[in-house]
Amino acid sequence: MAPLFLVLGILPLTLAGGHDYGAALSKSILFFEAQRSGYLPKNQRVQWRGNSGLNDGKISGVDLVGGYYDAGDNVKFGLPMAFTITMMSWSIIEYGTQMGSSGELGNVLDAIKWGTDYLIKAHPQPYVLYGEVGDGDTDHYCWQRPEDMTTSRAAYKIDPSHPGSDLAGETAGAMAAASIVFHRYNPAYSAELLKHAYQLFDFADKYRGKYDGSITLAQKYYRSVSGYADELLWAAAWMYKATNNQYYLNYLGKNGDALGGTGWAMTEFGWDVKYAGVQTLVAKFLMAGKGGGYAPVFEKYQEKAEFFMCSCLGKGTRNAQRTPGGLIFRQRWNNMQFVTSASFLLTVYSDYLSSARKSLKCASGYVSPSELLSFAKSQVDYILGDNPRSTSYMVGYGNNYPKQVHHRASSIVSYKVNPSFVSCRGGYSTWFSRKSSDPNLLTGALVGGSDAYDNFADQRDNYEQTEPATYNNAPFLGILARLHGGHSGYNQLLPVELPSLKLAPKPVANPAIGTALFLL
């Protein structure tokens, strides 16, 4: 007999609490503007940044101006950038209504398009994809503002002779997910994204290999430990969601065993390991009645998705580690990426279960959808300051947040305040070694966060804990929108219906040299 709490799962969930999730959402989106490379637009709100990377790709005869710097350095890494775009798009696909009511939908669309515009440039031919601009070794030797870069801006690509199925697959997923988002707001652009997605999926599947075997410079920074099998399934899932083409659903059914979708039981999800993400998507397809003849295979995907959920909750047969304060802990170096990504999957799966009027069955018993969401909320609240240190790990949120962020642009005086050139090594002696607060507030950035014992040292050289990353923030957008806007009674298993655009809240203070305050 199903537990009685299932009936409650379909009701709108009101999540009252001490945090302003709307303000956190606004700030989290603002971080992406600080990470922009290229010619900044007229509506750029983070005014302390300037144009940068204006010759990217030139040496290779291709225009690679634009995109995002991944973290606190000035390199453009294609794999985490594409994952960032996928997760921002998924956030809108699930919670676009809530983002619309917050007034932030337009800003998130701008953030996605800044990334996809670059990914389009990086894919100049069907079987050619540029996956990196700059290199981590020379970049890390220097501490410079993006506007002052003197480091190598060489570009690195994959092609049939030098394949990268993981990179091409993730980029196909990003293009497909973004095409869903833009279908209502910019149909022509949506169609262009989908054209690239088709080509990239074919490239990934036809010419198989790990991208870091072709772009070897990426190995020290974004090594593809999981290989490319998870990205092939992940891309197929997004292609199916974007096109409703049975070919991609069949691909998931036929290749679930061979590519590990039905076999790998994971306790992490992120830019490298996508299995839990694709298993969650396939579980959604199954609950929406789209399993067809592959339903038995998709049930295996769902079993693994639920293994992940139970693991995060501490109710499975192999559970994720937690700090004494209750935070999911995977590793010391930028643990935050795993917390936000896992919390996003818990949030959407909670809503899938509610829509299907089902519960989660773990080793220790049934779990209601509301329990999944409550746990995800606990992770968000920890990040925003409900932790043993009472520290907010979002820069600019709350009263006690990191002031010495491991981030070149924020730690050096703005080019617009003092345009004097900052040299490669001079930046280390003058700015990196300073023990005072950053001159530019990196509003909304989620840093690496606490260690396994809830300890945190706010020091610029403590890159494991104080460096932010775009893929920390991307899944956080969806969770914050959900917590801020509630459930709204929408069935998450139905086709996507995105709202009309509303204007974003107007800034009431100039974020040029510090804060960004909004009328909410």
Q: Write out the catalytic residue numbers.
A: 406, 458, 467
- Helices and strands of the chain, counted as H and E runs: 17, 7
Q: Sign of dihedral through CA atoms 224, 125, 108, 73?
A: positive
3-state secondary structure of 36: strand
- Provide the terminal-to-terminal Cα distance of the chain, rounded to the nearest Å: 45
Alpha carbon dihedral 232, 237, 243, 249, in 10-degree steps, equals 90
Cβ atoms 259, 230 nearer than 8 A: yes
Nearest to 131 by CA among 206, 60, 194: 60
What is d(CA 517, CA 520) in angstroms, rounded to the nearest whole number? 9
Best CA proximity match to 227, nearest among 169, 166, 163, 161: 166
Judge contact between 202 and 126, C-beta under 8 A.
yes
- List, in sequence order, the alpha helices (H) in 290-433: 295-313, 336-356, 369-383, 408-411, 426-427
State the Cα–Cα distance between residues 387 and 412, nearest whole angstrom: 30
Q: What's the rounded Cα separation, in Å, for the pair 346 and 292?
A: 25
36 has which bridge partners? 68
At residue 293, the 3 state secondary structure works out as helix
Only one residue has tokens 């004494």, namely 324
> Is residue 30 within 8 Å of residue 46, measured between CB atoms?
yes
By C-alpha distance, which of 351, 271, 278 is closest to 308?
A: 278
Candidates 229, 450, 231; CA nearest to 338 is 450
Sheet holding 155-158, edge to edge: 76-77, 129-133, 155-158
